[in-house]
A = this chain, B = another copy of it.
């Protein structure tokens, strides 16, 4: 931290950002506890001392991976909801982009935040809670946009915004599991079409 103006000592041989990205990819595939340190060092092409010097611990490396994921693969949600005339349109675009992203890579991965530490040993309870809190942020995202729609008038005044927000969130998370189970893109799109019909 505070990699300031003048750097003393031997410079780092590897690119920290590239290494972090490799770590994120590995965690994404095997989860927090399911990924071993030797897997990480192998994927990042560095040795344990370099990993610990640069990231502190496996847990800190994971938390940085979460943040990288959110920044790289999660930002579209805010964007989709914001750049839309109505709440309905915003949510439609959000789900469409979700499907595009989930099926963009060769391996259909689904949401990092849902997959990587849904359960696990007590040792990883902090990591689990961190992801849980992040998932709850998704509910707030939906809720805020729906309330905005209520003010704007494209969402009926008597609408139960909380229920709708929880509903879309559950669907988004369930979609990740379905995709992990092999659901194809067309089916995913049909599923979402049914879900959006409530608006």
Contact = CB atoms under 8 A, between A and B. Distances in A.
Interface in A164-198: 164, 166-167, 169-175, 177-178, 180-183, 187-188, 190-191, 193-195, 197-198
Contact of A164 (B135, B164, B172, B194): B194
Contacts of A34: 33, 119-121, 124
**Considering residues A116, A175, A191, which has the most beta carbons from chain B within 10 angstroms of its beta carbon?**
A191
Interface of A: 29-31, 33-36, 114-116, 118-122, 124, 132, 135-136, 160, 162-164, 166-167, 169-175, 177-178, 180-183, 187-188, 190-191, 193-195, 197-198
Interface of A is mostly: helix
Q: What's the number of copies of this chain in the assembled complex?
A: 2
B187 A178 contact: no
7 contacts: A31-B118, A36-B121, A114-B177, A116-B119, A163-B190, A170-B174, A173-B174
**Considering residues A36, A174, A180, A183, which has the most beta carbons from chain B within 10 angstroms of its beta carbon?**
A174
